[in-house]
Chains A and B, each alone.
Chain A
Amino acid sequence: MGLRPAVSEEQKLYARWLSVGARAGLAVLSACFLVYVLELLEPQVPLHELPALWAHPVEHFRTLTGAPAGWGWIALLGKGDYLSFVGIVMLGLVTLVCYARIVPALLKRGERLQAALAAAQVLVLLAAASGLLASPARADEVDLKRAQQIVSGRCFLCHGAQGESASELYPRLAGQNPVYMAKQLANFATGERKSTAMQPMAADLTPQERSALGLYFSRQKSEPHPAADAQLAAQGARLYADRCTACHGGRGHGSETLPRLAGQVASYLAAQLRSFGARSRTNDNAVMQGIAAQMTEQDIRAVAEYLSGLD
């Protein structure tokens, strides 16, 4: 076998730097991910909440979680999820560094055209990495301003401008799960969920407006409302742990498609459980009618009391 054809110096240089950079990036990413999933560092977005969030478009996800754009994640490096960005960014920077490294090597060899190509590539990668090329607003982005108009036009009278209902007759909407809420509005509009008060309110809302209202109320802070009857609440806690946590979660926060029950008005919760038990509530009834039918009036009051006191 004769001598192998020579590989150019800049190609060897690129290969060496790439090899080190890629290995380091992958190793750091793997290590940081372990820290994240083992919860050695508290994440910005709790792990159990992720499945309710990652089905949303990125704009919506950012609004719901307060996730930063651009290089804003650096301020959150102490959080498990954002620590993993170090490895990801290393993988993103390795090509830029390799190109920057070969520019002087090419110039030294008098390869001006190739050096100009490499320098142009560095500029393109720098522009991408700078974060200056922000993505424009998505066409189906949720319009929170429109939601605010609707709330101040019709919702606030019963549910309060921030979703903290003034009366025990109406549910609190502050902190409610957005997708669940948008679905309820759709069900009110079609009559699938019966309410003479809500049907005309929801009838003319577009799907975008329903989503926007869901998002608006989900972003309002739910105020703590300690349970009025601690003994009844303690009884409700046992019942809740036994029958409800599998779907509604340990703290009554629900999920993307299931309602947040924590902090809800007790009388409203009790009324809904009675409606499910009597089969007069006809949406979201696949599981709830069976469960509520087995509950006594005392059970219903106890669970409602317990949930109303949760944060």
Chain B
Amino acid sequence: MMRLAFLVAALAGASPAMAAGGAPVPWWVWPLALFAVTFVLGAVAVLAGVGGGVLFVPIVGAFFPFHLDFVRGAGLLLALSGALSAAPALLANGLASLRLAMPAALVGSVTSIVGALIGLALPTGAVYTALGITILAIALLMWRSRKSDHPDVPASDPLAAALRLHGVYHDPATGREVDWKVCRTPAALVAFAGVGLLAGLFGLGAGWANVPVFNLLMGAPLKLSVGTSGLVLSVIDTSAAWIYLHSGAVLPMLVAPSIIGVMLGAKIGVRLLSVAPAAKVRSTVLVLLVFAGGRALLKGLGIWA
């Protein structure tokens, strides 16, 4: 964590100074720095129980010299690559439900396209300001959020019943079969519309919002919510990523090192899971999010350009 904080601080201090008239930084420094930062982000994200996609845009957008358009394009591809890689095993084991994901993904993908179009049309300063506010709100949500392993759902709502949003999965930790059903589906679909809009606007992964909506609002068990969240994210972010790609806001020089970095980092993160102090890592991530969100907000307002 110290290494990440140091690197971020060094980049924050160094890049404007370099841009102001010092010797130009060779091009290869940036993909390497991006790889290093995303590697740490990938590990930290696993340890803190958040998606790398939600950390990437605020941190890289705030401290690297790339325009926010390209950072958001890369952020979407980064988040969806992680979700695509994890989803097959979760689906095959029943820890993600395609049936539960489908209506949420459909609503979210439509609004994520709208969000991407709005985000690419708005002036950069406005996007930075809105991103800063959103990231600070996400940090607050993550700090205050509760979780419920097996919420009590007395009965499915009519829409959930019509869509047959119920099932059974095998929990490998307890060795038991878990019956699940959900409620408040219409309200949840409205929430997913909002999640899609924010994902498209800011190029964020959406796990921070999908999990609470599935778990706390609809009453899906926590493990199923986490697994299904990734699947929904992959569809939402794919839809928005196409808009960024067709607008020219996808640069392979940002996308490839970030994806490789975050995936390798996540593998290390999984290995560290049993030894790392998860609560401390989570607190540090929250501080980092507040710092990056604050930086984006001040950048947007022209106070800390």
Contacts and interface: CB of A to CB of B under 8 A. Distances in A.
Do A and B come together as binding partners?
yes
Majority secondary structure of chain A interface residues (helix, strand, loop or mixed): helix
B252 A26 contact: no
B252 A133 contact: no
A286 B17 CA distance: 12
Interface in B42-93: 65-67, 69-70, 77, 80-81, 84-85, 87-89, 91-93
B120 A58 contact: yes
B57 to A, nearest CB: 15
A92 B241 contact: yes
Contact of A22 (B31, B84, B249): B84
Contacts of A57: 67, 69, 124
Interface residues of B, number: 79
Nearest to B110: A124
A76 to B, nearest CB: 12
B121 A138 contact: yes
B24 A91 contact: no
A25 B91 CA distance: 19
A139 B245 contact: no
Contacts of B97: 11
Contacts of A2: 177
B275 interface: no
Given A92-B241, A124-B109, A287 B88 contact: no
B88 A136 contact: no
B238 A26 contact: no
A137 B255 CA distance: 24
B69 A37 contact: no
B248 interface: yes
Contact of A48 (B26, B164, B248, B254): B26
Contacts of B252: 29, 32-33, 36, 81, 84-85, 88
A257 interface: yes
Interface stretch (A61-69, A165-173, A217-225, A302-310): A61-69
A113 B25 CA distance: 56
A287 B22 CA distance: 8
A292 interface: no
Contact of B167 (A5, A30, A70): A5
Interface string A40-67: 0000000110111011111001100001
Interface string A93-114: 0111000001000000000011
A14 interface: yes
Given A11-B92, A33-B257, A54-B67, 7 more contacts: A4-B177, A18-B91, A61-B67, A84-B256, A85-B245, A121-B235, A139-B121
Interface of B: 19-28, 30-31, 65-67, 69-70, 77, 80-81, 84-85, 87-89, 91-94, 97-99, 102-103, 105-106, 109-110, 113, 116-117, 120-124, 162-164, 167-170, 175, 177, 234-235, 238-243, 245-257, 259-260, 263
Interface of A: 1-2, 4-5, 7-8, 10-12, 14-16, 18-19, 21-23, 25-26, 29-30, 32-33, 36-37, 47-48, 50-52, 54-58, 61-62, 67-71, 81, 84-85, 87-89, 91-92, 94-96, 102, 113-114, 117-118, 120-121, 124-125, 127-129, 131, 133-140, 246-247, 249, 255-258, 284, 286-287
16 contacts: A11-B99, A15-B89, A18-B88, A22-B81, A54-B253, A56-B67, A62-B248, A92-B242, A128-B239, A136-B117, A136-B121, A140-B123, A247-B22, A247-B23, A256-B19, A257-B19
